[in-house]
């Protein structure tokens, strides 16, 4: 890996890794290093701050970038882009009361999809939707408030997903200015959701395009999800 992990500012770069502790500090380290790589500067020229509502923002040379940070038990992920507000969420795959949780919290169409799957698939399917909802809430700057759990996100075009294969980024039903996608990583042990808020009507947004999604903002969006080594974060 390059010293400063990153990609193009025209790309939504998602970096993730497993870790044996201190996820918050390591996630902060990773997002600063990724931003430094995008801007071509030393990490010391960028720092991480938080708005009053908790949204992470970069100061210094990285202030033109949008970032999102997430961590779960033993895993972390960051998203960095120069395009538009972004959100990312990572969850550990574990056994859930997925059918009951889906009926209680999700949109009826989503709940019907989850509960129609074999029981062994329902937990990861619930997390597939949950991580996208979390990511959309972060991209919108409002979390899961105002009905965030019932806010519909795209159902996958095919199931089950292949490990490490990102779903086609697709616009949200009823909100074409936002796109979201999800991916199962780590041999099926984690699910990552990512969302981008274009902030426009998104009239030119394609329903299902992979790997590029026209948002009707400035450019095509390319989603790049990569794993990094925990040892590189100290």
Residue spans per domain, the chain: 11-233
pLDDT for 55 equals: 87
pLDDT at 175: 82
Tokens 């990312």 sit on residue: 88
Architecture of the structural domain at 11-233: Alpha-Beta Complex (3.90)
Residues 215 and 202 sit within 8 Å (Cβ to Cβ): yes
The sheet carrying 190-197 orders its strands as 86-92, 190-197, 175-185, 170-172
Per-residue pLDDT at 218:
23
Strands 86-92 and 170-172: unpaired
pLDDT along the chain (234 residues), means of 10: 53 85 85 90 94 89 94 89 92 96 95 97 96 93 76 89 81 86 90 81 33 29 66 66
CA 150, CA 57: separation in Å to the nearest integer?
A: 27
Greatest extent of the chain over all pairs of C-alpha atoms, in Å = 50
Three-state DSSP state, 37: helix
d(CA 94, CA 192): 14
State residue 146's pLDDT score.
Answer: 66
Predicted local confidence at residue 214, as pLDDT: 31
Tokens read off for 202 = 């998104």
CA dihedral 6, 9, 10, 14 (to 10 degrees): 40
């Amino acid at each position: 890996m390059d010293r400063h992990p990153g990609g193009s500012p025209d790309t939504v770069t998602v970096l993730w890794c497993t870790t044996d502790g201190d996820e918050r500090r390591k996630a902060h380290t990773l997002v600063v290093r990724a931003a430094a790589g995008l801007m071509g500067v030393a990490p010391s020229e960028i720092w991480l701050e938080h708005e009053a509502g908790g949204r992470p923002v970069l100061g210094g040379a990285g202030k033109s970038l949008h970032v999102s940070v997430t961590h779960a038990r033993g895993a972390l992920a960051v998203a960095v882009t120069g395009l538009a507000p972004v959100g990312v969420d990572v969850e550990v795959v574990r056994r859930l009361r997925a059918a009951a949780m889906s009926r209680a919290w999700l949109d009826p169409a989503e709940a019907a999809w989850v509960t129609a799957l074999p029981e062994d698939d329902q937990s990861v399917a619930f997390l597939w939707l949950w991580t996208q909802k979390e990511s959309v809430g972060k991209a919108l700057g409002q979390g899961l408030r105002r009905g965030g759990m019932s806010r519909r996100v795209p159902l996958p075009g095919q199931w089950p997903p292949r490990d490490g294969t990102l779903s086609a980024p697709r616009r949200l039903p009823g909100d074409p200015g936002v796109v979201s996608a999800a991916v199962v990583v780590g041999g099926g042990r984690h699910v990552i959701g990512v969302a981008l808020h274009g902030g426009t009507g998104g009239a030119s947004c394609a329903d299902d395009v992979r790997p590029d999604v026209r948002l009707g903002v400035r450019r095509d969006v390319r989603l790049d999800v990569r794993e990094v080594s925990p040892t590189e974060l100290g």
